[in-house]
Amino acid sequence: MKLYYDETINPRKACAVARHLALPVELVHVRLARGEHKAPGFLALNPNGRLPVLQDGALTLWEANAIMCHLSLAAGAELWPRDPQAQVEVTRWLSWDAFHFTRHTGTLYFENLIKPLIGLGAADAAVVHEAEQQVRTSAAVLEQHLASRRFLLGDALSVADFAVSAALPYAEGARLPLQGLPAIARWHARLNELPGWREPFGPPAG
Ligand SMILES: N[C@@H](CCC(=O)N[C@@H](CS)C(=O)NCC(=O)O)C(=O)O
For the chain, 206 residues long, give each residue's pLDDT as a single digit of tens: 999 999 999 999 999 999 999 999 999 999 999 999 999 999 999 999 999 999 999 999 999 999 999 999 999 999 999 999 999 999 999 999 999 999 999 999 999 999 988 888 899 999 999 999 999 999 999 999 999 999 999 999 999 999 999 999 999 999 999 999 999 999 999 999 999 999 999 854 44
Atom of ligand 1 nearest to the CA of 11: 10
Spelled out in words, what is the top-level CATH class assigned to the domain 84-194? mainly alpha
- Ligand 1: distance of its center to the CA of 155 in Å? 30
Assigned CATH topology for domain 2-79: Glutaredoxin (3.40.30)
d(CA 152, CA 150): 7
Q: What does pTM read for this prediction?
A: 0.96
The beta strands (E) that lie in 45-196 are given as 53-56, 59-62
Phi-psi bin for 80: left (phi > 0), alpha (psi -120 to 50), beta?
A: beta
The CB-side HSE value for 49 (13 A sphere, CA atoms) comes to: 9
Give residue limits of the domains in the chain.
2-79, 84-194
- Ligand 1-lining residues (CB < 6 angstroms): 8-10, 32, 37, 49-52, 63-64
Q: Do domains 2-79 and 84-194 have the same CATH topology?
A: no
Distances 185 to 37, 77, 103, 138 between C-alpha atoms, Å? 34, 26, 20, 15
Instruction: Kindly give, in sequence order, each residue whose CB lies less than 8 Å from that of residue 123, ignoring residues fewer than 6 positions away.
Output: 111, 112, 115, 116
Atom of ligand 1 nearest to the CA of 64: 20
